[in-house]
Chain A
């Protein structure tokens, strides 16, 4: 008998669960070759409507009215940053719930749940693999922005941007865990993901500055982690500021992250217990 299964989980064994979950998800993803085509081509097509729409409205790639509100006249880099960070929302929100639903459908969820490891690490592995595909997508978008629209990116600027992106992803993991919990109980979370995704898109400053929203909507928008991530990253990349200017936003983002992660893990373990009691755990 191998006794490792009976032992307390160690940092190494937990890390192994996370790593193997990522490897499994990436290998499964790569088994569908069309996804590569999607990653390679879609970021290029994604820009075209914005350029055409902007040119039709303001007759060029810069707007003075836009500059008065945001401090920068170049609306394309503004929107690119919005899109790049919003792509993490999309993949994590839809991906996590869908991943759990798929596990239930293919009959593997029972085996994952019947294993002695801590399931939190399986979920972390799932969340990281979902955000990895977003990172590839985001990198393509940024590369195109630099090449086509002269967006300037320096290494010194990228480090704090990377840090804020990690903070955003942590908060989104919390929401993704909530989606996974709903998927476990109700066997689909697509509608909820769709609703939350739309709310983020409307109330967070993805395509327009938050000042464009009515006051009540701005208050709502300030409860969303994406709002803070966008404000901070745009401040770094478009206005050239540093942490001393946006430290309050960073603190609020951290607080929201902690609250969402705690809520996510709590809700998932609560729903898991509830479904094990009701018998819904094996349904799909």
Chain B
């Protein structure tokens, strides 16, 4: 196996990884004439988005590691820096023992990349043509590539439709081809960025099983970004929460959940809550650790939710219902249960993890 022996324990290690993006400002038609340097540090700071802020993570060899965070938290930027698509502004990362700044080509050879979303392959080509093309980019000789492509088509149950154009495939089948592409050169590390995004439940389950098998049977080191809590809970050995470009916590899903496990959770589904409802309930429940309103989109059939963690659920239920009635808020449902990874994230950051709160 090709790797730099120095850091074999960790397949991926980021050291103060920082990435900033300049904000795109509209400067008018002749804006390019007015492009001057920021006058002071404060102004400079305002024109920059910090996508990754000194990120430090260590992923062990063979580990299935989840990176969880809401949209825009820095998950994809982390993946892009690790895969050398982006150059970080500060810090570095060691991938399979190779430095992303100095040994770009070796890092690229060590990785397989899967990004969720509709278009990442050539739709006018067949699955076989796509795979043969990408095999050449990984310096595979024709004979070796052909053998490997046949193997992967068979493993991923794509063989029967291998000579059909991808435009005739379902989203789930295209995602299988994307996974086959990542496995072409049999890399020790896989970077999976929202691999089940937009898939129907059946295909999402198939892809999750595939990921589990790649980790357990083939010993791949996998960095998985997702905002599906169940997916991370089900698959990952360890999980890191990322919010606003910063790592908030890293641990196993069970240990993370233990942070709020002993506490009880009350979740109330509400319609059209007033803006001050969160503050109002917090005043009535001083012993609750977290009171959080998670706004929904009622037009999309996704109502808002109020989550209360800590204290005694039995006492909270009555108080919350009274408070909501006082404010004339319609209640759609009420649950008392065990906190999930999302509840841990809310407790740690005060922010919600997903749009739909899954």
Contact = CB atoms under 8 A, between A and B. Distances in A.
A117 B139 contact: yes
Given A27-B129, A113-B85, A115-B138, A5 B185 contact: yes
B265 interface: no
Contacts of B121: 106, 108
A122 B137 contact: yes
Interface string B134-178: 101111111010001000000000000000010000000000000
B140 A24 contact: no
A105 B118 CA distance: 11
Nearest to A281: B85
A28 B122 CA distance: 8
Given A20-B132, A27-B124, A114 B188 contact: no
Contact of B139 (A4, A23, A279): A4
B106 A6 contact: yes
Contacts of B109: 5-6, 116
A114 B1 contact: no
B119 A117 contact: no
| A interface secondary structure, majority | helix
A111 to B, nearest CB: 7
A245 interface: no
Contacts, number: 134
Interface stretch (A9-17, A45-53, A62-70, A196-204): A9-17
Contacts of A7: 139
Interface residues of B, number: 49
A224 B188 CA distance: 50
Contact of B138 (A5, A12, A28): A5
Contact of A2 (B51, B105, B136, B185): B185
A44 interface: no
A107 interface: yes
B2 A3 contact: yes
A111 B120 contact: yes
Contact of B85 (A32, A105, A110): A110
Contacts of A2: 138, 140, 144, 148, 185-186
B87 interface: yes
Interface stretch (A148-156, A165-173, A232-240, A270-278): A270-278
Contacts of A116: 105-106, 108-109, 137-139
A114 B122 contact: no
A116 B144 CA distance: 17
A1 B124 contact: no
Contacts of B111: 114
Contacts of A13: 136, 139, 141
A6 B2 contact: yes
A31 interface: yes
Nearest to A276: B87
Contacts of A19: 136
A111 B89 CA distance: 22
Nearest to A122: B137
Most buried by A among B129, B133, B144, B165: B133
B136 A114 contact: no
A112 interface: yes
B165 A31 contact: yes
B58 interface: no
Interface in A160-204: none
A278 B317 CA distance: 50
Given A2-B185, A279-B86, A17 B2 contact: no
Given A4-B185, A24-B129, A278-B22, A16 B123 contact: no
Contacts of A21: 133, 136
Contacts of B185: 1-2, 4-5
A2 B184 CA distance: 9
Contacts of B181: 111
B187 interface: yes
B54 interface: no
Given A27-B125, A111-B120, A113-B85, A9 B136 contact: no
B41 to A, nearest CB: 20
Given A4-B185, A114-B111, A23 B133 contact: yes
B311 interface: no
Contact of A28 (B21, B117, B124): B124
Contacts of B80: 110, 282
B84 to A, nearest CB: 6
Contacts of B187: 1, 5
24 contacts: A2-B144, A2-B148, A4-B138, A4-B140, A5-B139, A6-B106, A21-B133, A23-B133, A24-B122, A24-B133, A28-B125, A31-B124, A32-B124, A106-B123, A107-B118, A108-B119, A108-B121, A110-B85, A111-B181, A115-B137, A116-B105, A116-B137, A276-B85, A277-B87
Interface of B: 1-2, 19, 21-22, 51, 80, 83-87, 89, 105-106, 108-111, 113, 115, 117-125, 129, 132-134, 136-142, 144, 148, 165, 181, 185-188
Given A5-B109, A6-B106, A281-B85, 19 more contacts: A1-B1, A1-B186, A2-B140, A2-B144, A4-B138, A4-B141, A5-B140, A6-B109, A17-B137, A28-B125, A107-B120, A110-B83, A111-B134, A111-B181, A114-B113, A115-B108, A115-B138, A117-B139, A277-B86
